[in-house]
């Protein structure tokens, strides 16, 4: 997992819960990196999982809810750093249906070692999109937060139903209807 995901995560934890919480979750986790991340480095996904699980224990907020809020913050980071990918689109359905064949393809050119999910388009109309998310990292709520923000970016909203196809959450159907 790319370092920018860690540095932005710890920054948000500091803003929301304070520097003591950052120290606490780092100390509670067994981290090969020892919690020292650079934006361009690459680290094990298991480090993110431990940080999330420890934050969840300390705050009584589920890891899904933490990932949802984190994604909303991360969207702003993506918009600032990769604005050229956003101007390409004039509506949210086109953007979301292009994660797989355009957006994440560009991400892989910048970070060849990025660990990305797949988003297969199962159905697409002007106002509706059904996506099949597949990833061993089961970060579906991170996806949900990014999707919510994508609609907000185009000054609209959507109803998004998330259907887990297995217990692990490594395969999830997103049924997206623009309001
Ligand atoms: C992960 C970039 C848009 C869904 C990532 C990562 C990067 C990235 C750098 C981390 C990869 C790693 O740590 O190895 C971008 C950029 C975008 C974009 C630059 C737009 C310009 C989106 C959108 C979604 C999305 C709109 C909406 C669903 C995800 C998910 C992950 C991810 C769910 C977590 C990894 C996983 O589930 O396996 N993306 N992304 N991305 N992205 Fe994107």
Q: Whose CA is nearest to atom 32 of ligand 1?
A: 116
- Long-range Cβ pairs for the range 103-106 (8 Å, 24+): 106/82
Tell me what ipTM this predicted complex has. Answer: 0.94
CATH of domain 91-178: 3.90.1520.10
DSSP at 97 = T
Q: Whose CA is nearest to atom 40 of ligand 1?
A: 104
Q: Is 162 in the pocket of ligand 1 (CB under 6 A)?
A: no
Q: Is 26 in the pocket of ligand 1 (CB under 6 A)?
A: no
Render each residue's pLDDT in the chain as its tens digit; 179 residues: 999 999 999 999 999 999 999 999 999 999 999 999 999 899 999 999 999 999 999 999 999 999 999 999 999 999 999 999 999 999 999 999 999 999 999 999 999 999 999 999 999 999 999 999 999 999 999 999 999 999 999 999 999 999 999 999 999 999 999 99
User: Which H/E stretch holds residue 3?
Assistant: helix 3-17
CA atoms of 176 and 173, how far apart (whole Å): 9
- Which of 86, 89, 99, 105 maximizes ligand 1 atoms within 8 Å of its Cβ, making it the mutation to test the pocket? 99
């Amino acid at each position: 997992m790319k370092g920018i995901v860690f540095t932005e995560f710890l920054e948000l934890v500091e803003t929301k819960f304070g520097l003591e919480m950052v120290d606490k979750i780092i100390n509670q986790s067994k981290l090969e990196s020892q919690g020292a991340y650079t934006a361009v480095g690459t680290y094990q996904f298991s480090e993110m999982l431990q940080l999330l699980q420890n934050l969840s224990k300390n705050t009584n907020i589920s890891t899904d809810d933490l990932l949802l809020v984190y994604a909303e913050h991360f969207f702003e980071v993506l918009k600032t750093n990769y604005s050229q990918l956003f101007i390409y689109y004039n509506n949210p359905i086109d953007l979301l249906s292009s994660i797989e064949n355009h957006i994440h393809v560009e991400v892989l050119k910048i970070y060849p070692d990025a660990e990305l999910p797949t988003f297969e388009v199962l159905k697409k109309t002007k106002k509706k999109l059904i996506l099949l998310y597949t990833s061993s990292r089961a970060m579906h709520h991170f996806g949900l937060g990014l999707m919510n923000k994508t609609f907000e970016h185009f000054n609209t909203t959507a109803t998004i139903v998330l259907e887990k196809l297995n217990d692990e959450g490594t395969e999830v159907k997103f049924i997206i209807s623009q309001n």
